Amino acid sequence: MGIALLMLVGGVGVGIFGSLLGLGGGLLIVPLLTLGFGLPLRESIGVSLVCVIVTSGASAGVFLERRVANLRLGMVLELFTAMGALLGGLIAFLLDERLLAGLFAALMAYVAITMARPKPQAAAAEPAGGKAAELRAAGPPGADEEDGFIARLSGDDYTVRNLVPGFGGSIVAGVASALLGIGGGLVKVPVLHLLMGVPLRVATATSNLMIGITASTSAWIYLIRGGIDPYATGPTAIGVFVGATIGSRLAHRVDVRALRLLFTAVLLYTAYEMARRALGLS
Amino acid sequence: MEQGSSTVVRAAGLEGRIARILRVGTYGAVTLIAIGVVAILATGRSPLDAAPPLEPGRLVGDLVALRPEAFLWLGLIAVLATPAVRVGVSVVGFWRAGDRAMATVAILVLVVILLGVVIGIAGPSPGTAAV
């Protein structure tokens, strides 16, 4: 009973932390379970995949209702994140756990460095009435097939660009999600925003919408192959869900600057522990 | 233009339907998992104990017998199935809106998810995975 409660409370903490920092819980669930509770790494990744689907599900619905998430663009990119996740789900069962730990340590160190640096200015979105509006006004889809398709994927005030490189980035996001048990927003948001020209708010919401398909594709493989333990998943998933709900309500009342520093320190420490595990020192 | 605006209105309706599916699926799954967690706490089991494997044929019987793992397995399946149901509804929605290209993309997404399930079933057992 004590361990179940500890997992529940740990999940709540991870959910609040992740939600306040806009990172989701995925990055912290695996260290919580492996370093905190001694679960095997692959099993922790399976649990983490379930947690990120649960936490993204409810918020994705809200983003869709508020018309922030781009359903069409998300659907097209999901095809590629799902293909990447399929590939990652296959590779995950072939890789040595020490290599997975090394990959995780590298990811955490990268995020820690990114968080420690000052945030760059968000790229300006194309003003209303941009190329997307022109393309739509030019006529029905099919007049120029490619432009028509891009116009249907674009929003009222922005035009999607670099579609094919975006497909490549989505495959990378899918592989990373399946290998490391994360939602993949760390890759998808920059791909959508910086590469494809989608405004940051829409990119974040669309990435959130895509998490369900990305993570569930590989989670099915983990579940069927015995890589998801329901006893460990239950308390963690409920904790993370409750924590993320609390975090989203606290978000506008909390100064996250101090929290970012604390988070950077936590990430660096867990990266160090994961690197030790990768090197067989722990 | 009228046909175009009708497509947009239908697509907007689709977004509302998908939002409802995501909400119902997520809260339904969380409820099932929460029942399983309460049962774990009540029976004093440890999350670190090995849980019985998923046996779909026994799921209904285990639910009736109020076994914690049955609620947890069903909740986990609901979590993983909700995104696929969302895509299935999108196929119908895009098709009805006359958007054959998006309907085809959504069908392909379903095919990839199904491939994951097939690969999971056909692949090596966990015991043969690299450790």
ipTM score: 0.86
Over the Cα atoms of chain B, what is R_g?
19
User: How are the residues of chain B apportioned to helix, strand and coil, as percentages rounded to the nearest 5?
Assistant: 80, 0, 20
Q: Which of A47, A81, A214, A231 has the highest number of chain B CBs within 10 A, making it the mutation to test binding with B?
A: A231
- Nearest chain A CA: its distance from B86 CA (Å): 9
Mean pLDDT for chain A overall: 85
Mean pLDDT confidence for A243-271: 82
| Residue A146: predicted pLDDT | 67
Per-residue pLDDT band at A147 (split at 50, 70, 90)? confident
| Residue A1: predicted pLDDT | 63
d(CA A109, CA A113): 6
Give the DSSP letter of residue A197: -
Distances, alpha carbon B25 to alpha carbons A82, A158, A233, A243, B89, in Å: 20, 31, 17, 19, 13
Interface contact flag, B15 A65, Cβ < 8 Å:
yes
| Residue A239: predicted pLDDT | 94
Please say if the pLDDT value at position A139 is more than 50.
Answer: no
| Residue A141: predicted pLDDT | 47
Mean pLDDT confidence for A244-251: 82
d(CA A195, CA A249): 31
| Residue B129: predicted pLDDT | 42
> Looking at per-residue confidence, does A180 or A146 come out higher?
A180
Nearest residue on chain A to B91, alpha-carbon basis:
A75
Mean pLDDT confidence for A127-146: 50
- Nearest chain A CA: its distance from B32 CA (Å): 9
Please say if the pLDDT value at position A93 is more than 50.
Answer: yes
H or E element that contains A58: helix A41-65
Per-residue pLDDT band at A120 (split at 50, 70, 90)? low
d(CA B75, CA A237): 11
Interface contact flag, A64 B120, Cβ < 8 Å:
no
Please say if the pLDDT value at position A126 is more than 80.
Answer: no
Mean pLDDT confidence for A45-52: 94
| Residue A275: predicted pLDDT | 93
> Looking at per-residue confidence, does B53 or B17 come out higher?
B17
A window 84-123, beta carbon within 8 A of B:
85-86, 89-90, 93-97
Mean pLDDT confidence for B100-116: 96
| Residue B23: predicted pLDDT | 92
d(CA B40, CA A237): 14
Phi, psi of A59 (to 5 degrees): -70, -30
CA-closest candidate to residue A282, choices A42, A41, A43: A41
Task: Read off the pLDDT of residues A149-190 as tens digits, 9 standing for 90 and up.
Answer: 888 888 888 999 999 999 999 999 999 999 999 988 889 999
